[in-house]
Amino acid sequence: MADAIEDEFHEFVRERLPGLRRAAYLLCGDWTRGDDIVQRTLTDVYVRWRRIRRAENVDAYVRTVLVHRFIDERRRGWAARESPVDRLPERCAEDVALEGVPEGLELHAALARLPHRQRAVLVLRFFCDMSVEQTARVLRCAPGTVKSQTSAALATMRRLLEDPLDARRPR
């Protein structure tokens, strides 16, 4: 029985991992940090898999955990997230692949300039295709807050994409 449940978890991860990685990347703007967020998310999900697997919408539950791990990671100080190494790691293939797509970089640069809650709202609403109510449940806020955060984020994105040089400036 335990092996069947574990196999079910592994199958779930195999099917959902690419989407979870893309969502994490859109949230944090870095493939390596995104992978760390996904790993923490899947560790949390694995520990509670027996209960989670019976949820009405397992995907929504896992996305909720993903966003909470992203927000938690943003709240922790730099020292808790960073540890010095002797040499820099090689760049991931995804980072290298994006170099030839200027429009994607402009969009990504503008997205990276948003406050983390606004970025989370846009990723959940438009990448994960969640409703206002679903997004509010994930972010533990009122639907009105989701609507106002979406409006503010889209206005900022429009402004930044009108002037792509502004989007590339660090926050």
- What's the pLDDT tens digit per position in 107-166? 788 888 899 899 999 999 998 889 999 999 999 999 999 999 999 999 999 988 885 455
CA–CA distance, 60 with 158 (Å, rounded to integer): 28
CATH number corresponding to 100-171: 1.10.10.10
Q: Residues 4, 11: contact at Cβ < 8 Å?
A: no
- What's the pLDDT tens digit per position in 16-33? 999 999 999 999 888 999
Handedness of CA 29, 66, 61, 147 (dihedral sign): negative
pLDDT at residue 163, rounded to an integer: 59
Model confidence at 13: pLDDT above 60: yes
The CATH 1.10.10.10 domain(s) of the chain lie at 100-171
pLDDT band at 73 (very low <50, low <70, confident <90, very high): confident
The CATH 1.10.1740.10 domain(s) of the chain lie at 1-77
Residue 92 burial (CB count, 10 A): 15
Model confidence at 82: pLDDT above 70: no
Question: How far does the chain reach from its first CA to its final CA, in angstroms?
Answer: 51
| Eight-class DSSP state of 54 | T
pLDDT at residue 101, rounded to an integer: 42
**Selection from 15, 14, 31 nearest residue 23 by Cα:** 31
pLDDT at residue 75, rounded to an integer: 74
Q: Residues 90, 27: contact at Cβ < 8 Å?
A: no
What fold, for 1-77? Rna Polymerase Sigma Factor; Chain: A (1.10.1740)
